[in-house]
Each structure stands twice: as structure tokens, then as C-alpha cells.
Amino acid sequence: MDEIELSLDFWWDMSVQLAGKKVLVMGLGRFGGGVDAVRFAANAGAHVVVTDKATREQLQDSIGQVSDLADIEFHLGRHDAEDFATADVIVANPAVPPDNEFLQIARRHGRTVTSQVGLFFQSCPAPIIGITGANGKSTTTSLTAHLLERARPPASQGVYEKVWLSGNIGDRPLLTILDQITPRDLVVLEISSFQVEQLMEARKAPKVALLTNLTPNHLDRYGTFEAYCAAKEALFTFQALDAASPAISIFNAEDEVARTWFRKYQGQRGRTCLQFRADDVSAEVQAVYALPGRANRSNLAAAMAIAKCFGVTDRSIQDCLAQFKALPHRLELVGDRNGVRWYNDSKATTPEGTMVALAAFECPKVLIAGGYDKHTPFDELGKKIVCSAKAAILIGQTARQIADAIHAASENVHQPDVQFAGSLAEAVEVANRIAVPRDVVLLSPACASYDMFENYQQRGRLFAELVQRLGA
């Protein structure tokens, strides 16, 4: 297809609209998730009020990141309805559901409710590529940015100049890069279902939108798989349709929901629909791609589908692909001890993510799984463990549920060795006793981390440290 024609028109700058206003940032976060929104509003000339249920002591690190700013109030330890009724603009953290009682108060009083991602889309002057899905979106997003940056066509200066990577990934929050982006750039974002919901409220969507796949996730928030899918679909529903410069919608041809959406949106005036498959990756390109498994080929096929919209060729992809490394906490090799390879896949917070990880290796596998309960079913994971793992060491809230799924799936067949551990450290010790040369030990929890850890990164870092100590 023809390369995307980029518009040079700046979008109107939301920061101008914040000057002199009372801006309420809902959710500073212990890890600084709201810091860029606070700084953005303060630098725009707003009076900023930060509200968070956590205490000042719990938020000490995040507060320190905005301590140099003037005209900021902190209302901590609880939310106050009066703040939401009187603020001009409320910037809500992605973790806050759209039907939150305090956001409802703000709407009843005619206040503007927005978000970090909403502010970014409102002000970004460059075309945005948005990638969402249940699994693979971080790798796909990073691959897309890598290919666009490293495999750009010789005439790319006439197409785009700089590639920015942000969103629900990396260490450069959206609003911290906004003042550096020009209309000649490209922005590649990983977008979560929570952020898609916030874009729905802003009625914004990316110029190029891609769905990696959809499997049940976050059912503790959405209740049903259908509701979760509906939240994701807004990334396509609100794409601006322009016959002169069509929106690009890209779907996984091997995913049932994605195929349905492809058929739904195909043929719309002002929209170009594309599909990708894992088998789109040629043998020559695959030969220089280091990430294992069919799911990672699918991630690469997705990134290639986007890159080719901007003139990137198979040859240039092949030339630069060897430079791409696995992301931290995503099938990351963290140790090789006595012929046993240890992989950190802490980012696998869904059963489907863990099944993908198990499928990536043909050798015997010792799985460490379990964690916070998001109310996702483990039936299929149990079947996958039975047919592809020699042992499963289970931790956290969901340990018993996963064990029950393994037991149910192993009726009339051999059941893998199932053991329970009270901590990740104990799980590593057990795995070290079980594994023999040529085995893989795989931390791929199939669950979020919040029952035992601050986040999946902390879980993955601890795993890597524990593995390193085995060789000490």
C-alpha cells in the first residue's frame, strides 16, 4: 500500500486551556504515575491540587518528584467530594474506572474530566501509532519503534524524522515528551484497556491502530470478556476517517475477535484495514530474530505491518533486527546455571501469556506461576501445563486455583509435579532442586503481582536476583 501521508497541522494545545484553571490530579501514585500530569498542568500555569487515597508517607518518592513546583496542594489519605465539585479540570489516573463515584460528582457539576493520555492526544502535533491487546503489546510496540527508527527508508526524512516510544511502556511518560515532539515525527504508544477507556471519553484515537490479540483479562474490573473487548474496541471506533489520508486499522488474522473486527471495519470510507499473521515473517527475517516462539513471530509480523505503511522494506528489517533484544521481564534470559536456563517472564500476567511462554520452548520446563487473582479462568492453562511442563511451582493467591486446573486437566494422563511455595525465594529453591541440565525454569505467573509485590517489575527483578545468587 502507499505510505501514509502525514499532516503538518498542529493540534490545538490543551496546555493553553489549563492556564489559570484549578486542575485536580486524581492519583499521584506511589511509583509516580501522575507526576507528569502534575508537572504538565503546573507548567501550563494551572493551580494544581493532588488527591490520592495513599498517605504522604506512602507517596514520599512521588511527592519528591514535584517538590520544585509552586502552587500545588496535596489532599492525601482520602478523596474529598468538594474537590471534584469545584475543580475546573480533573485528570484521572488510568486505574480509576470511568464510573468512579468522584468522577461522577465532577460530571454532575459540569467539570471537565480528562486523563494523561487524553491530554496527550489533545495536544500531540505528530501522527500517533497506538498498539493494544491482551498479550504481546509491549514487545510489538518496542519492535515497531525499533523498525521505524532503525530500518527507515533512505527517503525517510521526507516522511518522518524522529520516532518516540511511550505510553504504557518505558520510562518516558507521555506528557514529559510532548513539548519535544514536532509534526514531522512519529509517536508509537502501547495503550492499555484502561487508557483506551479514557480516550473514549476524549473521543480520540490514533492515526494507526493495531490489535495484537484478545483473551480474557482484567475481569476483576470488567466483569465479562465482552466488556473487556468493548473497552479495547474504542481504539478503532474513534479513529478519524479521512478519505484523503485514511486511518489505518490493523488486526491479527489468527485471533477470533480481531478477525470479526476486521470484517466489521473493512471497506469503510476513510479507513484502510490490514491483517497480519505469524507466517508473514519470511525465513530470512526469522533467521535473525532472537525471540523464541510463534507468538513472538506474530509480534514481529504486527510490527512489520505497521513499518511497511511507512516505506520500511523486508531487507532493511532483516538488516536491523539482530539489534533488537528481549524486553525486561518478557522471556528475558536471566541466568544459565549448570546447563539450566532461567527465564524471567514476569510481564505474563494472563493465563494466555503463560501459555505462549510455555509454547516458546521445546525442552522440559519447570514453571513458576501464580499471583494476584484477576478472576480469569485457568482451565486452558491447566491443560497446557499438563501437556508441556514437567513441574509447576505455585505461589500467591491463585496457587490453589491453578493446581485445581492442573488436576482437572490431568485426569487419565500423567500429572506434572505440582508443588506450593510460600514465597518467590522458596519457589526458586524448589525449582533449582527439580531442574536438570537442558531444562528451562520459567517464571511466567499468569497473574498480576499485587498480592505479593508492588508490580510485575519488582517481581521480575527479585527473580533475577535470586537466580544470580544460585551461582554465588
Regarding whether 307 and 161 lie in a shared domain, the answer is yes
In a domain, 2, yes or no: no
Regarding whether 165 and 235 lie in a shared domain, the answer is yes
In a domain, 72, yes or no: yes
Regarding whether 311 and 188 lie in a shared domain, the answer is yes
In a domain, 207, yes or no: yes
The C-alpha cell 494476584 sits at 372
State the pLDDT at residue 1. Answer: 41
pLDDT above 90 covers a percentage of the chain that reads 83
pTM: 0.84
Structure confidence at residue 8 as a pLDDT band (50, 70, 90): very low
* Other residues' Cβ atoms within 10 Å of the Cβ of residue 224: 10
Tell the burial category of 5 from Cβ atoms under 10 Å away from its Cβ (0-12, 13-18, 19+): exposed
Tell me the three cell numbers of residue 203. Answer: 473521543
In a domain, 11, yes or no: no
In a domain, 160, yes or no: yes
Domain end residue (candidates: 110, 127, 146): 110
Q: pLDDT at residue 7 above 70? A: no
In a domain, 14, yes or no: no
Regarding whether 279 and 252 lie in a shared domain, the answer is yes
In a domain, 3, yes or no: no
Regarding whether 182 and 260 lie in a shared domain, the answer is yes
- Which domain, by its residues, includes 242? 119-321
Q: pLDDT at residue 5 above 70? A: no
Question: What is the CATH classification number for the domain harbouring 41?
Answer: 3.40.50.720
Q: pLDDT at residue 156 above 90? A: no
Regarding whether 299 and 155 lie in a shared domain, the answer is yes
Q: What are 169-218's pLDDT values in tens digits?
A: 877 899 999 999 999 999 999 999 999 999 998 899 999 999 999 998 88
31-40, 136-145, 151-160: the lowest-pLDDT one: 151-160
Regarding whether 454 and 374 lie in a shared domain, the answer is yes
Domain end residue (candidates: 301, 321, 341): 321
Are the beta carbons of 27 and 34 closer than 8 angstroms?
Answer: yes
Tell the burial category of 437 from Cβ atoms under 10 Å away from its Cβ (0-12, 13-18, 19+): exposed
Are the beta carbons of 211 and 123 closer than 8 angstroms?
Answer: no
Say how far apart CA 402 and CA 408 lie, in whole Å: 10
Backbone angle region of 337, left / alpha / beta, with phi > 0 → left and psi within -120 to 50 → alpha: beta
Mean model confidence pLDDT for the chain: 92
Tell the burial category of 455 from Cβ atoms under 10 Å away from its Cβ (0-12, 13-18, 19+): middle
State whether the Cα torsion 132-133-134-135 is positive or negative.
negative
State the pLDDT at residue 227. Answer: 95
Pick the more confident residue, 236 or 3: 236
Q: What are 287-342's pLDDT values in tens digits?
A: 999 888 899 999 999 999 999 999 999 999 999 999 998 888 989 999 999 999 99
Regarding whether 346 and 456 lie in a shared domain, the answer is yes
Regarding whether 338 and 258 lie in a shared domain, the answer is no
pLDDT above 70 covers a percentage of the chain that reads 95
Are the beta carbons of 439 and 390 closer than 8 angstroms?
Answer: yes
Q: What are 231-270's pLDDT values in tens digits?
A: 999 999 999 999 999 999 999 999 999 999 999 999 999 9
Q: What are 107-127's pLDDT values in tens digits?
A: 999 999 999 999 999 999 999
Regarding whether 262 and 315 lie in a shared domain, the answer is yes
Regarding whether 212 and 74 lie in a shared domain, the answer is no
State the pLDDT at residue 235. Answer: 96
State the pLDDT at residue 169. Answer: 86
Domain end residue (candidates: 110, 141, 163): 110
Regarding whether 364 and 279 lie in a shared domain, the answer is no
State the pLDDT at residue 2. Answer: 45
Question: What is the CATH classification number for the domain harbouring 444?
Answer: 3.90.190.20
In a domain, 402, yes or no: yes
Over range 267-277, report the average pLDDT.
97
Over range 16-37, report the average pLDDT.
90
Beta bridge pairs of residue 187: 128, 164
Question: How many residues comprise the chain?
Answer: 472
Over range 141-146, report the average pLDDT.
96
Question: What is the CATH classification number for the domain harbouring 141?
Answer: 3.40.1190.10
Spell out the SS3 assignment of the chain. CCCCCCCCCCCCCHHHHHCCCEEEEECCCCCCCCHHHHHHHHHCCCEEEEEECCCCCCCHHHHHCCCCCCCEEEEECCCCHHHHHHCCEEEECCCCCCCCHHHHHHHHCCCEEEEHHHHHHHHCCCCEEEEECCCCHHHHHHHHHHHHHHCCCCCHHHCCCCEEEEECCCCCCHHHHHHHCCCCCEEEEECCHHHHHHHHHHCCCCCEEEECCCCCCCHHHHCCHHHHHHHHHHHHHCCCCCCCCCEEEEEECCCHHHHHHHHHHCCCCCEEEEEECHHHCCHHHHCCCCCCCHHHHHHHHHHHHHHHHCCCCHHHHHHHHCCCCCCCCCCEEEEEECCEEEEECCCCCCHHHHHHHHHCCCCCEEEEECCECCCCCCHHHHHHHHHHCCEEEECCCCHHHHHHHHHHHCCCCCCCEEEECCCHHHHHHHHHHHCCCCCEEEECCCCECCCCCCCHHHHHHHHHHHHHHHCC
Domain count along the chain: 3
